[in-house]
Amino acid sequence: AIERTLSIIKPDATRRNLTGKINAKFEDAGLRIVAQKRIHLSPAQAGQFYAVHKERPFYGELVEFMASEPVVVQVLEGENAIAKNREVMGATNPANADAGTIRKEFALSVGENSVHGSDAAETAKEEIAFFFSGLELVG
Ligand code: CMP
Pair 37, 8: CB distance under 8 Å: no
CB of 121 within 6 A of ligand 1: the answer is no
Quote the CA–CA distance of 139 and 136 in Å, as a whole number.
10
CB of 101 within 6 A of ligand 1: the answer is no
Quote the CA–CA distance of 70 and 76 in Å, as a whole number.
19
pTM: 0.97
From 9, 116, 118, 131, active-site residue? 116
Output the CA 111–ligand 1 centroid distance in Å: 5
Among candidate residues 113, 124, 53, 123, the one with its CA nearest the CA of residue 89: 113
Q: How far is CA 54 from the centre of its chain?
A: 18
CB of 114 within 6 A of ligand 1: the answer is no
How many CA atoms lie within 13 Å of 53's alpha carbon, on the beta-carbon side? Answer: 14
Cβ-Cβ contacts under 8 Å for 36 (sequence gap 6 or more): 72, 73, 74, 75
Quote the CA–CA distance of 117 and 33 in Å, as a whole number.
13
Tens of pLDDT, residues 5-56: 999 999 999 999 999 999 999 999 999 999 999 999 999 999 999 999 999 9
ipTM of the complex: 0.94
Tens of pLDDT, residues 64-88: 999 999 999 999 999 999 999 999 9
Among candidate residues 58, 49, 56, 69, the one with its CA nearest the CA of residue 114: 69
Based on the residue annotation, tell me whether 53 is a catalytic residue of this protein. Answer: no
Output the CA 139–ligand 1 centroid distance in Å: 30
